[in-house]
Amino acid sequence: MGDVILDALLDTLKLFPFLFVLYVLIELLEHRTRVGAPSRALSGKAAPFLGAATGLIPLCGFSVMAAKLFERGLVTVGTLLAVFIATNDEALLVLALSSLTWQQKILYIALLCVFKLVFAVAAGYLADFLLRKRAQPLAPMPAPHEHEHHEHEHDHDEHDEHEHHHDHDEEEEFHVCEHKHHGALTLYLWSPLLHALQVAAAVLAVNFVFGTLFFLIGEDKVVGFLTGAGYWFQPLVSVLIGMVPNCASSVVLAETFSMGGLTFASCLAGLVTNTGLGILVLLKNSKTWKRGLVLLGVLALLGLVVGYAGNALLLLF
């Protein structure tokens, strides 16, 4: 039981730096700072591809970051879906450290990454196309005080133009100075830190709960159940395990596959559905939990399609 508590703490501590950086980034984006200006790529045409490529990185923090950015309307559904599908959590590390030969490790890791990248990008662009009316791209970043400048320019004639610029510069200088001294510390340090701690506490609780369940049930029993499920039940069982918002689910799937207890397609079905801790962010928010359930259902459906189609091809050839 002590290992369950330790694992839950370590998983949460690994995620915390991502959460803190994420909330700092969100503040920069929402206040349209010059630092946040390059973030237009988050909602550009290449966003689903970039999201899928980021999701392949074996760190659970990226799916959480994508979910929080989606909550704030900073990325589209397609980009979020691409990140979730591409996420492998700790599966790649498990395969790399498994008892498979090095040739098999390279082959399966490459197949997993290539398939998930292509599938995630295709699903992301398709989702954005189907939901294009609901897309939430970032608004163009205005220059500081650009709006005020235009209003002032319309109200005064050319004779007062020089005086306007002088007053405008003083006002801007005062505003920036006041913001730096009185609000920047709270806005970009304490507020992100408090938000990160709140999410980390929820993640710690979920990690502990699911870690305890796996401990009580026994990983050997889960692996044995997967092994005996057969071609036509393996994808369904894998998808159900993949829906668990905990790194243990990806570990179990990858370990069972490496031992020969799962077909590659069945393992892939569970990993397509698995979002790491990303889906937890959407489900814990009272405003987005319904969308989170719909998204989880879509991922489960995609996982089943991949698993059954792959197993059917394996039986045919």
Residue, of 13 and 76, whose pLDDT is higher: 76
Residue 211 has pLDDT above 80, yes or no: no
For the segment 49-68, the average pLDDT, to the nearest whole number, is: 85
Each residue's pLDDT tens digit, 13-35: 877 787 788 777 777 766 554 44
Contact 276, 245 (CB under 8 A): yes
Residue, of 17 and 313, whose pLDDT is higher: 313
Residue, of 150 and 72, whose pLDDT is higher: 72
Residue 128: per-residue pLDDT? 93
**Averaged pLDDT score across all residues of the chain:** 77
Residue 301: per-residue pLDDT? 96
Residue 144: per-residue pLDDT? 40
d(CA 63, CA 295): 13
For the segment 265-272, the average pLDDT, to the nearest whole number, is: 94
Q: 97: how many CB neighbours lie within 10 A of its CB?
A: 13
Q: How confident is the model at residue 182 (pLDDT cuts 50, 70, 90)?
A: very low
Residue 254 has pLDDT above 70, yes or no: yes
Each residue's pLDDT tens digit, 83-123: 999 998 888 988 998 888 999 999 999 999 999 999 999 99
Look at residues 202, 283, 193, 177 and name the one whose alpha carbon lies nearest to residue 8.
202
The set of long-range contacts for 150-156, using a CB threshold of 8 Å and a minimum separation of 24, is none
For the segment 121-147, the average pLDDT, to the nearest whole number, is: 67
d(CA 128, CA 78): 5
Q: How confident is the model at residue 179 (pLDDT cuts 50, 70, 90)?
A: very low
Q: Which of 35-39, 270-274, 292-296 has the lowest mean pLDDT?
A: 35-39
d(CA 75, CA 70): 5
pTM of model > 0.85: no
Residue 171 has pLDDT above 60, yes or no: no
Residue, of 22 and 48, whose pLDDT is higher: 48
Residue 168 has pLDDT above 60, yes or no: no
